[in-house]
Amino acid sequence: MMVRRLLLVLSLATTAAAQQKGWEKEWNETLAAAKKEGRVAVAGSPDPVMRNEIIPKFTSRFGIQVEFIAGRAVQYIAKVKTERSAGIYSVDLFMTGVDSTVNTLYPEKLIDPLRPLMILPEVIDGAKWKTGKLWFIEPEERYILRVFRSVSGHLFYNAEHVKAEEVRAAKDLLNPKWRGKISTDDPMVNGTGANNAAMLYSELGADFVKRLFIDQNMVFSRDRRQYTDWLARGTYPICLSCREDDLKALRKDGFKLVEVFDLSDVSTRVNGSPWLLTYANKAPHPNAARVFANWIASKEGLEIYSRGYGAATLRTDVEESFLDRATVPRPGVKYFDDTEWSWTITGRKSARENMQQLLREHGKK
C-alpha cells in the first residue's frame, strides 16, 4: 500500500513538472518570437499611467517596444476600420472602454479570442482572481477580458467653490446656483459622457436629463484636459466626467478636488474601467501581443496600473492599501454593475439613444 501511494505521488509530481515545463517552453518560445517582432501595437485611452509607467516597465522587462495608439475609442476604431478596408492591420490589442468593446469591436468581428493567448500560471490560476477565474464577460467567455471592478464616482467638484452638503443628490445639480457651472464629456458621442447621461436617463427620466443638460446650460467638451482644467480653475467647478488619474497631479499641487461616490437618488455603481482587454484579429505582432496580454493581467502589470489610475483590480494578490477606500467594493453591498453584459448591449444602448435624441431635439449635435 505504501509503495502504491509513493508511486502515485511520484506520478503526480512528474505530471505537474511536465506541465510546468510545457508552459515554460511555450512562454520562452513566444518571448523569443516577440523580441524578433520587436514591438506591440496597443490602442487605448490616453491614460498617464500607460505612457509614464506601463510602457517603460514593459519595455524594460521584455525588450519589446510599445506603439501606443491613444485617443477616443470612436476615433481610433474608425481609423482601424478604414485601414482594414485597404488591407492594413496595424493594431494588436485594444484596451478600450465597455461601450466600444461590446457594441463595436465584438459585434463587428474586429477581434479574435483572447483566452487561448493566456498562459502564465499566475494569470490563468483561478485562485488569483476574486471571481474564481479569468472573467471573460461575453457569452462565449473567450473574447473580452475584464480585470477591474471599482466603485465609480458620480462627479467631481472643486471644494473652493462647492460645499459637500450642496451635492448630496443628483437633483441638487438642478439648483439655479449651478446653472452654467457644470461640465461633462460630450454625451452626443459614445464614451464616458454618453454613458453617464444614459445612466441618469435610465434612473431619473427624460425630464431630469432635459433640466440638467439643457436648462442648466451644461458645457460639453471632447477634450479631457480641457474639462479637467476647468474643474481645477473653478471655471466649471462641477465635472461629471473628470478622471482620478488626471487629477492626481493637481491634488499634489494643492487643488481641492473631491470625488462623490454616493448620491441619495441614484444607484451606487461599480464598473470595469479603465479598460477591457481584447485581441485584434490579424494582429501584426501576435507573439508580442501575447506577452503584453499576459503581463498586463499579471500581478505586476495590474498593480502598476491600479496604483497609477486609482482603480481596484479583480486580482486577489494586488495590494489595495494605496487606493481610496471608497473605490473598493465592500463585501455584502449590492452595486449596480455598469459593465454588466445585458445592461451594456440593451439597457444602456436604448437609454443612450433616447437621451441623445432628446438632446438633439433641443439643439445639441
Write out the three cell numbers for 343: 445592461
Same domain, 220 and 351: yes
Give 64-95 pLDDT, tens digit per residue: 999 999 998 999 999 999 999 999 999 999 99
Name 11's Cβ contacts closer than 8 Å, sequence gap at least 6. none
Residue pair 15/40 in contact (Cβ under 8 Å)? The answer is no
Residue found under cell 491634488: 251
- The answer on 347 and 213 residing in a single domain is yes
pTM of the predicted protein model: 0.86
CATH number of the CATH domain containing 189: 3.40.190.10
- How far apart CA 153 and CA 271 sit, in angstroms, is 10
User: Cell 509530481 sits at which residue?
Assistant: 13
Q: CA Rg, the chain, in Å?
A: 22
CA distances from 279 to 73, 96, 105, 345 (A): 15, 11, 10, 20
Judgement on whether residues 200 and 161 belong to the same structural domain of the protein = yes
Q: Are residues 22 and 115 in the same domain?
A: yes
Peptide bond into 284 cis (omega under 30): no
Do 135 and 26 lie in one domain? The reply is yes
| Tens-level pLDDT at each residue, the chain (365 residues) | 544 554 454 444 444 444 557 899 999 999 999 999 999 999 999 989 999 999 999 999 999 999 999 998 999 999 999 999 999 999 999 999 999 999 999 999 999 999 999 999 999 999 999 999 999 999 999 999 999 999 999 999 999 999 999 999 999 999 999 999 999 999 999 888 999 999 999 999 999 999 999 999 999 999 999 999 999 999 999 999 998 888 988 999 999 999 999 999 999 999 999 999 999 999 999 999 999 999 999 999 999 999 999 999 999 999 999 999 999 999 888 899 999 999 999 998 899 999 999 999 999 98
Confidence (pLDDT) at 17: 46
- Number of separate domains in the chain: 2
Q: Are residues 83 and 201 in the same domain?
A: no
Per-residue pLDDT at 248: 85
Do 124 and 161 fall into the same domain? Answer: no
Q: What range does the domain containing 208 cover?
A: 155-265+343-361
Please check whether residues 123 and 65 belong to one and the same domain: yes
| 61 in the same domain as 161 | no
**Same-domain pairing of 306 and 357:** no
Q: Are 40 and 141 part of one and the same domain?
A: yes
- Do residues 280 and 89 touch, judged by C-beta distance below 8 A? yes
What's the rounded Cα separation, in Å, for the pair 173 and 181?
Answer: 10
Q: What pLDDT is recorded for position 8?
A: 52
Do 171 and 102 share a structural domain?
Answer: no
